[in-house]
Structure formats: structure tokens, C-alpha cells
Structure 1
Amino acid sequence: MNDERRLYAPRAYAADDPRRIVREHPFALLITTGEKGPWATSVPIYFETDDPGEMRLIGHMARNNPHARALQAGDTALAVFAGPHAYISASWYRERPTVPTWNYVTAHVRGALDPIDDDDTQLRLLDRVTEMAEQGHSSPWTMAQAPEGRVDALLPHIRSFRIAIDRIEGVTKLSQTHPAGDRMRVIDALEARGWFGDQAIAALMRDNERATEED
């Protein structure tokens, strides 16, 4: 049966590599549905391993969060990974005038969630999350460096989870359907304006332009 509950991603904007969006923007909105309606919590979520075909995500949240207490094995979960975004003024589109829009990057991951409560597995997942979050640091911090007894004291106050992935989808909407001249005007205008997200979107658009030139 066709499931219409998918990320709206017109062909021109469908991300070639939605996994990259997940990896580069791991602070996600986790959404699950309970008896009284949806729950939503913003938490860091990572692939469980570095395997390029990995189909599991992991994360944790404060156990005092009512959402954490509501998690049930087999819950349907949606994790939304939001990348940079920027408002695009219609005044920048001159070759093909149109209306204002928004350029953005996002990935949606759907799957079945299972809460994890045993200490050994939670510790292993915390090690993984810390390893990923510390990537790129000159002296990465590890769980072994925590003050003695601190991790053991905190474990009862978190609840970890794993998501078995059913589908990963992404959007990179970067003015791809507009003429080259308009795209370059958008890039220049974003770089000059400098609002939140402008520089990141402009950089992604410039990368697209370089790739197009190489093709």
C-alpha cells in the first residue's frame, strides 16, 4: 500500500545523499505518537555505527522528560534533521521573476523505536554519541575522563533509544530550478546580507555551481 506520509521532496530538490544531512546536522527533533497525541523532543541522534549502510539511529533524553517515560517498544518514530535555511527575496530573481521563497536543507528518518534501559547498553551508546560529537576536536573528550562515579550517578536519569530505520529522505532546495544568473544573484545577496543561515546556504549553492561547471 502506498504510504503518503513522506517528506515532500519535488524531484529537483530531492537530496542525493540524505544520510550526509543526518551526519552533519545530528541535533534532531524526535517525534513519536502516544495515546493522547504526538510527543516531540529535540535531542542529538546519530547512526549507531560508521557502516555506510547502517539502518539504526541512537540517542537519549532526560528520564524526567514525560516523552521519555512515554516511549514504548515498537513506537513509530520520525526524526527531523534540520540543516541551514534562508529566506530568498523575489527581488533577486530577475531573469525569471517569481515570488519569494525559502531555501533549506532537511532530512526525515522514519522507523520503529525501542527504548533502552539497561546500563551496559546505555553506556555503550553514550560512548558512541560522545565519540561522534567530539569528532574534529584536537583533544577529544571521552566518557573515561568523566569524574569518578559521575556517569554511574547520571545513568538512572537518562533513557536511551534506538530507531530501526524504515526510510531516509532529504531535501536540498537551493534554487536549482532557476537560471544560472539568478542563482548567482541569490548567492551574492545571501553572502552580503549575512542573516542566520545565509552563509551556509550560499556556500552550498556555490558548491552546486562548481559541480555543474565540472559536469
Structure 2
Amino acid sequence: MSVWSPRNAAEVAALVARHPLAWVVSGAPAFHATPLPLVADLAEDGSVAALVGHFALRNPQVEALKAHPRALVLFQGAHGYISPELVTQPQWAPTWNYAVARFEVEVTFAPEDNGAALDRLIAHMEGDGPDRWTLANMGERYEPMSRHIIAFRAQVLSCDATFKLGQDERPESFAQILAAHPDAALVAAMREANEG
């Protein structure tokens, strides 16, 4: 286990929940890569068991995945350049901090779940407030539009995540980076990864 490994499965699930737009990459018979927002199904231990989303039917990656259902799903969380100007330590070298997760998956298409997949994504993004937007707001536009998408479930076969967020820095350098870095999201991710 590396110093940059997530401490637990919940950290990876939180990355997916906070940054749902992922690249779905497949390589047979040719390379395809599509950015899609995805929602995670969690296992009992809190790990990501599957990812649920939908493709536009016209996307050529749909037919490619029907023939060869293995893919990589790549998530990227907070990231950014860390300049030596932020620290007072002599000879400190610049670096790039980031949180990423790579899932190897097997994709199963489920057109009968189009509505459920959309409902889950919308609920995830809109929250559960009483006035949140729902598919019902589309009215009669929903049914014809739904014919142009196809839902899928991507069963996770393996997960590899790296949270390189300053865990190897000297305490004084880490504190200086947190105090001076302009990216609030990256600073928050660094704080969280180094708690406890």
C-alpha cells in the first residue's frame, strides 16, 4: 500500500459522488472514450460495486461495448499544480497533486432501466429538496427523448485509486501550501486526505 493509496473504500466512493463526470474508455475493436456522469452502487463495505449511467444511442461506443463489454472508467477529483513559491523549504521541487480512480468494468446495457437511471442521476445532482427538478417536469417531451438513450450498469471488476494530496510533505511545507494555494477545492481535498 502506497502513501497515496486511499485509506478506505469510502474515500473512493466520495470521489465518485463529488465528481460524477467520468471518462468511459473502451478499446475494441477501436478506441472510444465518452465523458458521462455516473452514479455508484455501493457494496456492504462501502466500496463501489457498480456504476450506473446512460449513453446516447447514436454514440458508436454503444455498439462497440455490446460486442466487447469491458471498459475502463476514469474519475478525476480535485487536482492542481503546487508551486515552489508556496513553501520556504530550499530546493523544494514543484509537483502536481490529484485524486483519481480507475475502474475496470464490464458493461451491461439495460434499455428497460432508462427512466430509473435518469431518475438516479437527477436525484444525485439535484438533491432531495421538495422543489427539486424531476423527469416529470419534462412532461410529454420525456418519452420521445428517452428513445434516444440507453441505460447501462458497469459492474466493477477492479479499482485502482491514487490520492496524491501532500501526504509526503513535511508538516511545515504542507501548512504553507494549505495557507497559500488559490484552489479551495484542492486545499479541501488535501486537508481531508491528511486528517487523523
Q: How does the TM-score come out when normalised to structure 2?
A: 0.86
> What is the rounded CA distance, in whole Å, between the counterparts of 2:48 and 2:162 in structure 1?
20
Matched, 1:15 2:6: yes
Q: What corresponds to 1:113 in structure 2?
A: 107
**Cα offsets for 1:161-186 (capped at 9, x unmatched):** 11011122322211111111000111
Q: Tell me the distance in 2 between the aligned counterparts of 1:188 and 1:21.
A: 23
Alignment-derived partner of residue 32 in structure 1: 26
Task: Give distance in 2, aligned partners of 1:173 and 1:205.
Answer: 8
Aligned length: 192
Relative to structure 1, the CA distance from residue 171 to residue 38 in structure 2 (aligned partners, 3 Å threshold; closer, same or farther) is same
Distance (Å, rounded) in 1 between the aligned partners of 2:22 and 2:159 = 14
Structure 1 vs Structure 2: percent identity of aligned residues? Answer: 27
- State the secondary structure of the residue aligned to 1:165: strand
CA contact (8 A) 1:30 1:43 kept: yes
CA RMSD between the two structures? 2.3
Q: Cα–Cα, structure 1 residues 139 and 49, in superposed 2: closer, same or farther, change >3 Å?
A: farther
Name stretches of at least 5 consecutive residues in structure 1 with no aligned partner: 1-9
What amino acid sits opposite 2:49 in the alignment? M
Deviation at 1:83, TM superposition (A): 0.8
| 1:15 match: secondary structure | coil
1:166 to 157, 171, 182: 157
| Corresponding residue of 1:6 | none
* TM-aligned CA deviation for residue 96 of structure 1: 6.2
What's 2:88 paired with? 94
Distance 1:126 1:151, change over 3 A: same
Change (3 A) 1:43 1:98: same
Question: Residues 161, 73 of structure 1: CA spacing in aligned structure 2 closer, same or farther, 3 A cutoff?
Answer: farther
What is the Cα deviation at residue 89 of structure 1? 1.1
Equivalent position of 2:116 in the other structure: 124
1:146 paired residue number:
138
| Pairwise CA distance, 1:74 | 5.5
Per the alignment, do residues 177 and 46 of structure 1 end up closer, same or farther by CA in structure 2, a change over 3 Å counting? same
Structure 2 residue aligned with 1:3 = none
Name the residue aligned to 2:63: 69
Asked if 1 retains the 8 angstrom alpha-carbon contact of 2:13 and 2:47, the reply is no
Shift of 1:49: 6.5
Cα distance in 1 between the residues matched to 2:33 and 2:193: 33
TM-score (norm 1): 0.79
Query: Residue in 2 aligned with 1:5?
Result: none
CA distance in 2, matches of 1:159, 1:21: 25
